[in-house]
Structure 1
Amino acid sequence: MDDVRIDLITEDEAGELLTVRRAAFVTEAQLYGDPNLPALTQSLTELVADIKQPDVVTLGAWLGHRLVGSIRVELEAEKANLGRLAVVPDLQGRGIGTQLLMAVLQYLPEQTKEVWVFTGQDSKQNLAMYAKQGYEYQYDQHTGDLTYAYLRRILGEDEPGESLAGLEP
């Protein structure tokens, strides 16, 4: 989808972001039989606080004026942790998630050397998308009834993004 715009999400867009995440993660909840996934139980107040964190970057994908996807990046020294990749159900499978994954790179500080992501072990579409973007399986972690697969991408010298300076909303 060439007409998707990716940009930082502000706290003013938190309500819309909460709606997008909940719609997207319902499918995952059904797959795992668990309605208590953190993306589904997070409150609006908690989401606003998360967006305001200095070590968190939240990107949104817009189609016109509609928020259709998002991704959260937590920055930690030389490492970035991706999470909450969400695309609205009616547009899943059209490359928006991949565009968000690729866009993340330009928001990473120069010292970032590796990017980590996790997803449910049974989320075959997610695992395939991450593998296609250069993420390699590292290990599984069991949490309650769920098993998460952790994947890592090592960034090359030509890949680190621009500094976050000047990109704050």
Structure 2
Amino acid sequence: MTDATQASRITLVPDADAGELLTLRRAAFVTEAQQYNDPFIPPLTQTLAELRADLARDDVVTVGAWEGPRLVGSIRVELEENKATLGRLAVAPDMQGRGIGTSLLFAIIPYLPEAVTEIWVFTGKDSKENISMYAKHGFEQHHDETAGALTYTYLRRVLHEVEARSGTAGSADSRPG
């Protein structure tokens, strides 16, 4: 199995897996919290009830990557008219560096409504590895924005018409169906 296909299944995260998703995000975001010396970043403070409410929203899509029965990665997308905003891309610490995050970036495309023409993502300005990964996959730095003590870098990727409608940027295995 190649690194980019480490996850055996990528599908929507059901409410039944909310607890596992919460655990995955907390494990994955500890290093981000340490980097910014802020243990109160939203992925670490969100409650199970808040996460379940988020999973139930019509304007949010959460996709997970499983290796066997274990949830090893996830990505959350908030939809607004022609824009999708990625957030909380999380990969289990022991599974990082195997292409799961990249797989999730492309697996989300078939779940987007046809009206979506651009995908936005934000990460801490000092998260150089994250910024590099997004840039490698077609996201361009757009602007920085400060919220409290943190400065976020916002990146944007414009979807090409064929890619947006067919999901051709992802593998056939990642399409809903």
TM-score w.r.t. length of structure 1: 0.94
Question: If each structure's helix is expressed as a fraction of its own residues, which one has the higher value?
Answer: 2
Post-superposition CA distance 1:76-113 (Å, at most 9, x none): 11110100000011111111000000101111111111
Aligned equivalent of 1:144: 148
SS at match of 1:28: helix
1:13 corresponds, among 10, 14, 17, to: 17
RMSD: 1.4
* Structure 1: unaligned runs, 5 residues or longer: none
1:24 corresponds, among 25, 28, 49, to: 28
Query: For the residues of structure 2 that align with 1:162 and 1:16, how far apart are their CA atoms?
Result: 30
Aligned equivalent of 1:119: 123
- 1:22: how far off? 0.1
Query: For the residues of structure 2 that align with 1:75 and 1:62, how far apart are their CA atoms?
Result: 24
- 8 Å contact kept, 2:6–2:100: no
> Within 5 Å, which residues of 2 pair with 1:49-68?
49-68=53-72
Query: For the residues of structure 1 that align with 2:129 and 2:93, how far apart are their CA atoms?
Result: 13
Aligned equivalent of 1:87: 91
Change (3 A) 1:162 1:108: farther
SS at match of 2:164: coil
TM-score w.r.t. length of structure 2: 0.90
Post-superposition CA distance 1:115-160 (Å, at most 9, x none): 0000001111110110011000000011111110000000111111
- 1:3: how far off? 4.3
* Structure 2: unaligned runs, 5 residues or longer: 168-175
Post-superposition CA distance 1:25-60 (Å, at most 9, x none): 000000000000000000000000000001110000
Q: Are positions 1:155 and 2:159 aligned together?
A: yes
Percent identical across equivalent pairs? 62
Q: Are positions 1:108 and 2:122 aligned together?
A: no
Q: Are positions 1:97 and 2:93 aligned together?
A: no
Query: For the residues of structure 1 that align with 2:131 and 2:158, how far apart are their CA atoms?
Result: 17
- 1:20: how far off? 0.1
Aligned equivalent of 2:171: none
Query: For the residues of structure 2 that align with 1:161 and 1:105, how far apart are their CA atoms?
Result: 9
- 8 Å contact kept, 1:110–1:162: no
SS at match of 1:160: helix
- 8 Å contact kept, 1:108–1:162: no
Query: For the residues of structure 2 that align with 1:127 and 1:161, how far apart are their CA atoms?
Result: 26
- 1:161: how far off? 4.3
Change (3 A) 1:161 1:63: farther
